Structure 1
Amino acid sequence: MRTHTCERLYKCDTCSKQFSQRGNLKKHMQTHTGEKPYKCEECSKQFSKLCNLNSHMRTHTGERPYKCEDCSRQFSDLGTLKKHMRTHTGEKPYRCDECSKQFSVLYSLKQHMKTHTGEKPYRCEVCGRQFSELGNLKVHIRTHTGEKPYQCKECSKRFRKSDHLRGHMRTHSDGSSQQPIRTLQTLEKKNGRDK
């Protein structure tokens, strides 16, 4: 009867969140204790919630029951589909308190925050230069390897960074750079070499 009257009789001592059932409080407490009683038999990774283990198991089975209605891409869990949908909607719900820049995923905001704190955990093994974001290190490494994964569709000229290609595309058109960018990965997929 308690669940119907919305009485909250069980209270978390750590954060004061309240629950109508003792079992729900016990499950909630695992978020504070770090307890992870659910273990994957395949890889031994552990989880605090059974639903998270079940979702994880799909990484082993390859099951992808959640499908994007815009592009038909499929995902193993609903949360990942929701994040993906932001690529279509342009939604950026995570805002930096320092500079108001917005991000579509929380991880990107956390990475960005390092630019404000000065933290630079990503180090180039070749020259020792350090970066706050992994993506910036990857682009930097191309200066050592000579890799230029972005290719112009018009003249086949190659670039290290996608924004350099976009700037170059304006030399072929009326200033609009709406043509799709070709990368090595998309070319390999098109030619059937993506394995």
Structure 2
Amino acid sequence: MAETLFKCELCDKSFSRLSYFHFHERSHTDEKSFTCELCDKSFSHFSNLCSHQRIHAGEIPFTCEVCDKSFSQVSFLQSHQQIYTGENLFTCEVCSKAAQSSNVLDHQANHTGEKPFKCDVCEKTFATSTRLLTHQRIHTGEKPFRCEYCEMYFIQSSDLLRHQRIHTGEKPFMCEVCNRAFTQSSTLMQHRRIHTGEKPFKCEVCKKSFSRSSNFRVHQRIHIGEKTFTCEMCYKSFSRSSALYEHQRLHTEEKTFTCEVCNKDFAQLSGLLNHRHIHKVEKPLKHEVCD
């Protein structure tokens, strides 16, 4: 094993080569000595500049041997290939669910309930020290993972990976029914409910079910009386953003709902509904309001 000669005074990490040490040092400074000649963006490492320049050149040299998809960085390709290889997966002996090997303790905590690592600030507990360290960044504001395309910062590497798909256009999660692709597994899971009809979010008050958690949260405001959307002109509050939008037409005098019989315009859907009784029209409305 090579002798360790160079030690960082800021984080105590050690390196066997001076070049590695200098490369690491830039992570503690704002030094960005490598500048793109096309857009003037600067980077702390030459390798990051090279990866960035592929955006301008349209170069995507790393190709998947299974599906022929190409990527600008080898890390993007490696992440993509795990879909086919199942690399770094383990199978739980209790429920037979497959998961990343790095998440073994996290998953097993679902069965044992054991979470020995506690946050000193909010006393929330975690199954692994890694999860605790990631959580503590919420309190410290630390965001160590930076996007090389737009230089946004993230608390977790997984958040960075999902974000970078905005730049790469990668959609690795595909629906097996309609072949529609998504950037996140959670979005695919939500999409599948269109085909299965599953509605896992059930209101305990009125027993109504929903396929999306966002629609479920909006519905719950009906029962608790929560009105989070407030008109800036008259301060009237509403439980849904669509209701606020419709109300604001009273102030702007915008009239988007038209009677199909006499062509009279109305600012609100309720006004058109009341008016239609004059004509005794039972046909469905041409305009629909969506949340």
1:72 is aligned to 179
Separation (CA, whole Å) in 2 of partners of 1:72 and 1:98: 37
Cα 1:106–1:29 change in 2 (3 A) is farther
SS at match of 1:137: helix
Deviations 1:65-92 (A, max 9, x none): 2222333332111111111111222212
SS at match of 2:222: helix
- Stretches of structure 1 that go unaligned for 5 or more consecutive residues are 20-24, 153-158, 165-170, 184-195
Q: Quick check: which has more Rg, 1 or 2?
A: 2
2:147 is aligned to 40
Q: Which has the higher contact order (CA 8 A, sep 6+)?
A: 1
Separation (CA, whole Å) in 2 of partners of 1:135 and 1:53: 32
Separation (CA, whole Å) in 2 of partners of 1:32 and 1:95: 33
Match of 1:146 among 231, 234, 255: 255
Separation (CA, whole Å) in 2 of partners of 1:45 and 1:97: 40
Amino acid at match of 2:189: K
1:50 is aligned to 157
1:98 is aligned to 205
Separation (CA, whole Å) in 2 of partners of 1:139 and 1:125: 14
Cα 1:27–1:97 change in 2 (3 A) is same
Shift of 1:37: 2.9
Match of 1:18 among 103, 127, 137: 127
1:115 is aligned to 222
| Structure 1 contact 30–36 (Cα < 8 Å) conserved | no
Separation (CA, whole Å) in 1 of partners of 2:205 and 2:161: 38
TM-score with structure 2 setting the length:
0.42
Question: Superposition RMSD on alpha carbons, in Å?
Answer: 4.4
Cα 1:16–1:126 change in 2 (3 A) is closer
Separation (CA, whole Å) in 2 of partners of 1:127 and 1:47: 38
- Stretches of structure 2 that go unaligned for 5 or more consecutive residues are 1-89, 94-103, 106-113, 261-265, 273-281
| Structure 2 contact 125–132 (Cα < 8 Å) conserved | no
Separation (CA, whole Å) in 2 of partners of 1:30 and 1:74: 29
1:22 is aligned to none
Shift of 1:134: 1.5
For this pair of structures, how many residues does the alignment match? 164
Separation (CA, whole Å) in 1 of partners of 2:171 and 2:155: 22
Separation (CA, whole Å) in 1 of partners of 2:132 and 2:232: 42
Separation (CA, whole Å) in 2 of partners of 1:73 and 1:182: 28
Identity %: 33
SS at match of 1:108: helix
Shift of 1:63: 2.0
TM-score with structure 1 setting the length:
0.58
